Amino acid sequence: MESPFKADVVKGKVALITGGGSGIGFEISTQFGKHGASIAIMGRRKQVLDSAVSALRSLGIQAVGFEGDVRKHEDAKRVVESTFQHFGRLDILVNGAAGNFLVSAEDLSPNGFRTVMDIDAVGTFTMCYEALKYLKKGGPGRSSSGGGTILNISATLHYTASWYQVHVAAAKAAIDATTRNLALEWGADYDIRVNGIAPGPIDDTPGMSKLAPSEINSKSRDYMPLYKLGDKWDIAMAALYLASDAGKFINGTVIIADGGLWLSRPRHLPKDAVKQLSRSVEKRSRDAPVGVPRSKL
């Protein structure tokens, strides 16, 4: 799909994307690179990193990969510093690293709960913490005219409740809270914008293949009227908007990119039945004697 943004919308900027070697993270890496940014990817698997960097470079994108685990403070510190040393600046941090699996709450061990919290919630804060000095106004490699941007990828699971994902819902809620609080503090003190994106089900991603098998997918419209799969491109375009000057007045906001799915409720009546019911009520109202209260109808 053709981008609605100019090809130079993030030209000259340097973006560090955790989890940027696959799925949504890789698409964000690709689109940022196609629109002028230099890209650093952080991930745990060297083979995935090498493949992603090779693919980006084949498109003419300046890209580098750094092995690291966001759960480890020393890895976060090393990767942020390495990104700065390699490119001489850091403008955009995208926290896309995540852990997820389906499990009922009674079968989820505290260690399993903690693992997802450490990757998603603690890892997001750790990366933000280490990137602060490079993103803030007047920091290394930056002028005093403005700060950088942070994008945190969360989800909509915690807006209501989700079956078999108490660990992920808790972690994503923490990410959104972190986004808002950092937007307040770091926006005021350092001119850093901090926003989030909450994707819905996205086609051709590791998460979809693991969490929503095709046989479940095909039945989803029965109880979620707005259910449909999005594209990785959709999330990357939202990220471009927030990271570019187009979103320069957006701070502390989480963009929901799920086609309205989180609003879905099963239809308790077919549309035709609603029409018939409405006509019946209208008819009774028209035929009622003058002066008879509607409550008596």
**What's the mean pLDDT when you consider all of the chain?**
90
pLDDT tens figures, 173-225:
999 999 999 999 999 999 999 999 999 888 877 665 655 555 455 566 666 77
- Determine the angle formed by the axes of helices 23-34 and 232-243, rounding to 10 degrees: 50
Question: In the predicted model, what is the mean pLDDT of residues 230-235?
Answer: 93
Domain boundaries, the chain: 14-266, 269-297
Residues 127-156 as b/e (b if ≥16 CB within 10 A, e otherwise) read bbebbbbbbbbebeebeeebbbbbbbbbbb
- Is a pLDDT exceeding 80 seen at residue 54? yes
The pLDDT assigned to 296 comes to 52
Decide if pLDDT at 286 tops 80.
no
CA angle, corner 135, sides to 133 and 141, nearest 5? 85
Average confidence (pLDDT) over 25-46 = 97
pLDDT tier at 38 (50, 70, 90 boundaries)?
very high
- Could you say which of 3.40.50.720, 3.40.50.920, 3.40.50.1820, 3.90.79.10 is the CATH number of the domain covering 14-266? 3.40.50.720
Asked if residue 278 has pLDDT above 80, the reply is no
Q: Can you tell me the mean pLDDT for 144-158?
A: 94
Higher per-residue pLDDT: 207 or 32 = 32
Q: How far is CA 8 from CA 32, 63, 168, 252, in A?
A: 10, 16, 36, 25
Cβ proximity of 68 and 76 under 8 Å: yes
What is the distance of C-alpha 142 from the center of its chain? 26
